[in-house]
Amino acid sequence: MTRVGIVGGGVSGLMAAWELSELGFEVELFEAAPVLGGLASSFDFDGFRIERFYHFICRTDETLIRTIDRLGLHDRLHWKQTRTGFFYEGRHFPFSHGLDVLRFSPLSWPEKLRFAWGVYRASRMTDWHSLEGQPAKQWLIDTLGPKAYEVVWDPLLRIKFDRYHDDISAAWMWHRIHRVARSRTSPFAGERFGYLEGGSDLLVGTLSEKTKANGGKIHLSTRVEAIAAEGNRCTGLRVGGEFREFDAVICALPLTLVPQLLPEGAPEYRSALEKLESIGVVCMILRLRHPLTKDFWLNVNDQRISFNGVIQYSHLNDDPRLEGRTIAYIPFYLDRGHPRFQYSDELLYDEYCAALSILNPDFDRGWVEGYRVFRAPHAQPICGLDFSDRVPRIRTPWDHLYMIESTQLYPADRIISGNLRLAQDAVTIALGEMGYSGRLPFPERDPSDIPA
């Protein structure tokens, strides 16, 4: 029987493992952490299991929605109209749809109309290739106007890309606007987002259970030390100092971690991977007695506040076990070498409590029932100018070694749905090269769309 080794137990690795196990292949997955899920993993928040980082689903997340169906979880997927707000220099504004933009007083009427028209045009655009060579900043200024850029988009770019915010390609930015705008049924309706009852934990747990039920093996707290090859053929993995033979290997790690695992050879490929950059995230999650505002997503642009957004996840997924409490996430993307990445939890908590009192003057520390801080060093790939040429492919210089990672979703942002699709793409390519000719249980993509 054909044996496939999978490195990484985030949603990408788990999806590849499940798909292969469904087709009767023998799979073995290795995850370095003691829990599965990677960026989509969950923890026990004083008796309430919830994801370390917030996840919402968009109407365009087709592969995720189809996978939820295939896993028999369709009755656990719910959709909800949510509110977006904007806190700008001490004032709160609703910011959910076109009418809110027209009422947004920090912009003059011509600025608002230009902004609304620019977002509408970007959401209708489909060919992004002409944007590849343009920096997002200049494109946003040209499309939406300089004031709208300064007030609305500059903080959004900074929240996500820290010191790289000037380097991001307009194609990436366009996709981001496009994805969220398509979650509205009309320019005058708010976003409608989806969530899984039980959160991402349900997806992660079900993929893992079904893989195991199919005979797949999943090893936790088991770091892969190296990928083995003879000449240009991948032969297996080194785990716990021992060689484990596999007919094929799918590597589903952040690309920045891959070069150190690669076999000897292919110096150009290795150095191309080494040039790819990513940033980390420090994210605080708080359980509050009361909501801060009515917004699911609150953008923040205020000189006194260090972070640029608060996501009140319970306004989307108001799990009855919360009994009306609010779960709020405060993400802060930054270079993992930045001193702030190592700030103590207590220091961040003090700083954020002071900021929350600015966002809502009624807030006091008595509202906080608990908080945690999570740090992920490889949370967001940096997609610079003309990035298409640098996107690594699923096939590698070694036969039977395949690579999947969020960078391959470019110009799209890294999202679970995209990761699941990449896993299916890798399975399609691997099976083709292993001579498998049976039917696949998922729709095959147009080969020109696959970063093969």
Ligand X SMILES: Cc1cc2nc3c(=O)[nH]c(=O)nc-3n(C[C@H](O)[C@H](O)[C@H](O)COP(=O)(O)OP(=O)(O)OC[C@H]3O[C@@H](n4cnc5c(N)ncnc54)[C@H](O)[C@@H]3O)c2cc1C
Task: Confirm or reject binding of residue 189 to ligand X (CB under 6 A).
Answer: no
Q: Which of 20, 140, 253, 355 binds ligand X (CB under 6 A)?
A: 253
Is 81 or 111 the residue whose CB approaches ligand X more closely? Answer: 81
257 counts as binding ligand X under rule CB under 6 A: yes
Could you tell me where the beta strands, DSSP code E, fall in 91-190? 91-94
Which H/E stretch holds residue 273?
A: helix 267-275
Identify whether the C-beta of residue 336 lies closer than 8 Å to the C-beta of residue 380.
Answer: no
| 118 touches ligand X (CB under 6 A) | no
Contacts from 308-311 at CB under 8 Å and sequence distance 24+? Answer: 308/155, 308/156, 308/158, 308/159, 309/156, 309/159, 310/356, 310/359, 311/54
Please tell me the number of Cα atoms within 13 Å of 122 on its side-chain side: 26
- What's the N-to-C CA distance of the chain in angstroms? 25
Candidate ranges 91-99, 100-108, 133-141, 413-421; the one touching ligand X (CB under 6 A): 413-421
Contact status: 224 vs ligand X (CB under 6 A):
yes
Cβ atoms of residues 441 and 22 within 8 Å: yes
- Supply the minimum distance, in Å, between the C-beta of residue 331 and ligand X: 5
Q: Which residues contact 276 (CB under 8 A, 6 or more apart)?
A: 255, 256, 381, 382, 390, 392, 407
Residue from 376, 420, 430, 450 touching ligand X (CB under 6 A): that is 376
The residue (of 53 and 153) whose beta carbon lies closer to ligand X is 53
Binding of ligand X by 359 (CB under 6 A): no
Question: Residue 334 class from Cβ within 10 Å (0-12 exposed, 13-18 middle, 19+ buried)?
Answer: buried
Does 6 help bind ligand X (rule: CB under 6 A)?
A: no
Establish if 190 lies at the interface with ligand X (CB under 6 A): no
- The stretch among 4-12, 18-26, 228-236, 312-320 that binds ligand X (CB under 6 A) is 4-12
Structure tokens that stand for 289 in this block = 């007695």
The answer to the question of residue 38 lying near ligand X (CB under 6 A) is yes
> Residue 329 corresponds to which tokens in the numbers above?
């996430």
The reply on whether position 7 binds ligand X by CB under 6 A is yes
Q: Which of residues 280-319 bind ligand X (CB under 6 A)?
A: 281, 283
d(CA 291, CA 206): 31
CB of 239 to ligand X, least distance (A): 8
Q: Which stretch binds ligand X (CB under 6 A): 76-84, 248-256, 427-435, 443-451?
A: 248-256
Minimum distance from CB of 164 to ligand X (Å)? 16
Task: Please select the residue that binds ligand X; options are 6, 40, 144, 273, rule is CB under 6 A.
Answer: 40
Site for ligand X in 71-90 (CB under 6 A): none
Q: Which residues contact 150 (CB under 8 A, 6 or more apart)?
A: none
| 381 near ligand X (CB under 6 A) | no
Q: Which residues bind ligand X (CB under 6 A)?
A: 7-13, 30-33, 38-40, 53-56, 223-224, 252-254, 257, 281, 283, 331, 376, 379, 406, 414-417, 419
